[in-house]
Amino acid sequence: MRERALAAAVTDAEAVELLHRMVGIASVSGSEDDLGLFLAAQLAGLGFDTHRDEVGNVIGALGDADAPTIMLLGHMDTVPGGPPLRIDGDRLYGRGAVDAKGPLAAMIVAASRANRPDGVRIMVVGVVDEERDSVGAHEIVATHHADAVVIGEPSGAGTVVVGYKGVLRFACSVRRPQAHTSSPEPTASEVAARFWQSLLDFTGTGAQDGPVFEQLSPTLVRMSGTLIDAELVVSCRTPMGFDSTAFLSDVAELARTIDAGTEITLLEDTPAVRTSRADPVAKALARSIRDRTGDVEFKVKLGTSDMNVIGPAWQVPIATYGPGDPHQDHTPDEHIVLSEYLLAAEILTDAVDRLATGLAALSTSHLGRIPSQT
């Protein structure tokens, strides 16, 4: 017998007010406490069993702790800046309206409205620090588990994201003896510049064929240098199956051929993730989208998200979805279309219902392992 989850279903007017208040609370990475406290109170008021964990993640749940679980996970933090908070017609402006408070708010609305069979648990999780090091997502991986996961990021109401490139970030440090500028010996800054050009040549940047998602894409994100000291920080967007250990070994050898004193230091290594259209979460979202719009798109992204953390760790059905134009991410004019936000909440509600029905129909606690990530 199906029953309404023991939560107060959020109305459309309340959904808009919820997002408006969320966007109005500043939550730059590392300063999410105010928003976390607000969301914890909101979830508790809606009937969720709610708590905040050691790193500041907000977790709200409906259902027994040992039941098969659907997790809706979005991030609370934003980058700095953004336009003043305001509503202009059908648009809500403010930092985080798209990335990613709109998707997180839609998840709260959907979880409050969803029907769930007995023996299925629904969790809404607002994590910290996604814009920097995904501390919040790593904490969730270490302390929880779910049988199906939707990651909240702006995809557009009619689009399901099934993959993200990885990121490999490293520093190249150069130290050279003090020398006069008239010396023929290269300065530290010159060595660093030569390394960067050699790296571009080594990776074939600009000359690779095929889809960008399948290519290695290095970017110089920071540089500093003098005659005796220099440092470059390089961020490489990596494809599926990329061997970061072998690549870093090759990069270190490349650096040494330019100058024996050059050192390479690993800063971050997050693998790419990709599921398929046949993934149960992607299918549930796609069917719900088609019911309302008649068409659905599947996309892969060139950046990273908490899907890169959760997907490889848990190997369960997973996809990313949320309202908002991803081109608005981090922009000075960031805004979300409220009618799209409400549509996405309806689509998420239906998708959660589909997933919950599937979980309840199984005799085990698994929807099925994620398809081969190819």
**DSSP output for 72-133:** EEEE--B-S--PPPEEETTEEESTTIIIIIHHHHHHHHHHHH-EEETT-EEEEEEES-TTTT
> Which of 104, 98, 62, 102 minimizes the C-alpha distance to 83?
98
Joined together, the tokens standing for residue 146 give 């779910």
Give the CATH superfamily of 2-164+272-361: Zn peptidases (3.40.630.10)
Q: Is the peptide bond before 345 cis (omega within 30 degrees of 0)?
A: no
Report how far residue 164's alpha carbon sits from residue 142's, in angstroms, rounded to the nearest whole number. Answer: 22
Inter-CA distances, 25 with 11, 28, 35, Å: 21, 10, 6
Q: State how beta strands 318-321 and 148-152 pair.
A: parallel
> Is 130 an active-site residue?
yes
pTM (2 decimals)? 0.89
Q: In the chain, where does the domain assigned CATH 3.40.630.10 lie?
A: 2-164+272-361
Q: What are phi and psi of 317, to 5 degrees?
A: -55, 135
Q: In the chain, where does the domain assigned CATH 3.30.70.360 lie?
A: 166-270
Among the options 32, 53, 77, 350, which is catalytic? 77
Helix (H, G, I), strand (E, B) or coil at 41: helix
Q: Which long-range contacts (CB under 8 A, 24 or more apart) does 369-374 make?
A: 369/315, 369/316, 370/275, 370/279, 370/311, 370/315, 370/316, 370/317, 370/318, 371/275, 371/276, 371/278, 371/279, 372/276, 373/240, 373/273, 373/274, 373/275, 373/311, 374/240, 374/274
For residue 180, the model assigns a pLDDT of 56
Give me the half-sphere count of Cα atoms (radius 13 Å) on the Cβ side of residue 248. 18
Q: What are phi and psi of 186, to 5 degrees?
A: -70, 145
Report how far residue 115's alpha carbon sits from residue 280's, in angstroms, rounded to the nearest whole number. Answer: 18
Q: Does domain 166-270 have CATH number 3.30.930.10?
A: no
Report how far residue 134's alpha carbon sits from residue 35's, in angstroms, rounded to the nearest whole number. Answer: 17
CB atoms within 10 A of CB 201: 12
Among the options 32, 99, 130, 279, which is catalytic? 130
Tens digits of pLDDT across the chain (374 residues): 234 445 778 999 999 999 999 999 999 999 999 999 999 999 999 999 999 999 999 999 999 999 999 999 999 999 999 999 999 999 999 999 999 999 999 999 999 999 988 889 999 999 999 999 999 999 999 999 999 999 999 999 999 999 999 999 999 999 988 765 666 788 999 999 999 999 999 998 766 777 889 999 999 999 999 999 999 999 999 999 999 999 999 999 999 999 988 999 999 999 999 999 999 999 999 999 999 999 999 999 999 999 999 999 999 999 999 999 999 999 999 999 999 999 999 999 999 999 999 888 873 444 444 343 33
> Is 229 an active-site residue?
no
CB atoms within 10 A of CB 293: 12
